Structure 1
Amino acid sequence: MDDYVAKMRADGAIPHDALVRLFLGEERRRPSTNRVRLGIALLRRTASMVPAEYRPPLLCAVGWLHWARGQRAVAQIYLAEASRIEPSDILAYSLMEHFGSRMPSWLG
């Protein structure tokens, strides 16, 4: 899958619709505070119950939710843990880079 996404990116074939802009923090519309809070709780609980090799995507999602709340440092901790478990995790690496360069537009 990672190779597929890398090829799509190189070909300029990755969509940039409203959902992608929301994921990247480019939309002014703020995600629901309550849904973000509940998502963090659910994903943290789930991550605590699965074997380590299944945790990185869950930790990345928790990281994104914290970043969406403006908690960049907390988000980076979750991404660092995902990278510790799976050093070649492209999602964790990409999110670290993205979070380090900007905060979501809805926070400004």
Structure 2
Amino acid sequence: MDELLQELRQLTFETAQQLEVLSAEDLLEFVERREAIIRRIRLIKPYLDNGGEYRQTVEEVLRFDPFIKKKLEEYKTLAGRELQKISAAKQQRNRYEKDSTGYSDGLFIDRKK
């Protein structure tokens, strides 16, 4: 249990220190690694009599959660904006293709002079 908590603590501290330069993929990797560690801790937890001795380490790790969550939200917002741009471009292209493939209401005749 001590090893898992120290691994979680180290992973969290390293991520928090590099938060401003991490890519979305790096944060995704952090979340996946963190979840794997937490799953292993939950497997051990039922066999512990007193979890109070780990409280300080857990609180240290949890202190960084708001900062990490904020960065994840920033990436989520950015991704949402990019999806909106892609959707708007697709709609515009579809409208253009629809207008250019059919006949319009008007008729244009080109006469040579």
Q: Which has the higher contact order (CA 8 A, sep 6+)?
A: 2
The structure that is helix-richer by fraction is: 2
Look at both structures and tell me which one has the larger radius of gyration over its CA atoms: 2
Provide TM-score, normalisation by structure 1: 0.34
